[in-house]
Amino acid sequence: MSINIAIDGPAGAGKSTIARRAAARLGFIYVDTGALYRTVALFCTRRGLKAEEEIGAALPEAEISLRFADGVQHVILNGEDVSELIRTPEISMAASTIAAIGTVRAYLFDLQQQIAKTENILMDGRDIGTVVLPQADLKIFLTADAEERARRRHKELAEKPDCPSYEAILADIIQRDEQDRTRAVAPLKQAEDAVLVDTTRLSLDESVEAVLDLCKERLGL
Ligand code: CDP
């Protein structure tokens, strides 16, 4: 049996960086499920698809798979590696919008479960502990204040051309939190049996240690 660790939380809580580092230390595969929603968003944006029915009808033409090279996840859309293309603010917002569509979630559900079945994984997202892997061996809900999350995202994007202002990023984060928390299907919420880790006052290293401490305490890893 493979070991499954679920990490959920709002945008910019540091999930992906923390989960990637913790997975590397544990020798687990890190699965970033946000990348799957981002890839569907890219697919829809390229085709100009907006309405739920047209997205549902076109989805079977989006063949999405994950490849892992040296512990790094690559997401492949119809044979093209789109790992970099999906990291723009435009796609972040589009991902949050299409993630509210039931057919999109159902489409990605099987893919996520298949990966978890065969490998020791640390999977991050919004509904991993509540919907995708309700039987996960350990569930963590990682959060931080919206202002702190916006500061971190701003720092992360600072080197890129056209970096949005801190205010624009904060507004985006607040809007995305609202969309993710209030949607009817698989809203972002802490699973009852998830452990809350608030990283507002923790450094990256301290956050990684907090996650690893929980893995040790709860799973003996
Ligand atoms: O990295 P960041 O926190 O900005 O976002 P992400 O994890 O890449 O996810 C992008 C969007 O996909 C989120 O705003 C969610 O709406 C959606 N998502 C989801 O609904 N369920 C997941 N398991 C993962 C992401």
Letter string b/e over residues 62-90, b meaning 16 or more CB atoms within 10 A of that residue's CB: bebebeeeeeebebebeeeebbeebebbe
Which amino acid residue places its CA nearest to atom 15 of ligand 1?
A: 96
Residue 47 confidence (pLDDT):
97
Which amino acid residue places its CA nearest to atom 23 of ligand 1?
A: 125
| Cα dihedral: 133, 37, 59, 41 (round 10) | 170
Residue 158 confidence (pLDDT):
87
Cα(168) to centroid of ligand 1, in Å? 18
Name residues of the chain where pLDDT drops below 50: none
By most ligand atoms within 8 Å of CB, the mutation choice from 45, 123, 126 for ligand 1 is: 126
Is residue 17 within 6 Å of ligand 1 at its C-beta? no
The model carries a pTM of 0.91
Cα(50) to centroid of ligand 1, in Å? 18
CA distance 60 to 165: 37
Residue 163 confidence (pLDDT):
86
Is residue 130 within 6 Å of ligand 1 at its C-beta? no
Residue 167 confidence (pLDDT):
97
Is residue 38 within 6 Å of ligand 1 at its C-beta? yes
Sheet with 138-143: strands ordered across: 29-32, 121-125, 4-8, 138-143, 195-198
CA distance 175 to 181: 10
Tokens for 103? 């057919």
Is residue 177 within 6 Å of ligand 1 at its C-beta? no
Tens of pLDDT, residue by residue over 70-129, are 778 999 999 999 999 999 989 999 999 999 999 999 999 999 999 899 899 999 999 999
Tens of pLDDT, residue by residue over 88-99, are 989 999 999 999
CA-wise closest residue to 30 among 87, 82, 69: 69
Is residue 176 within 6 Å of ligand 1 at its C-beta? yes
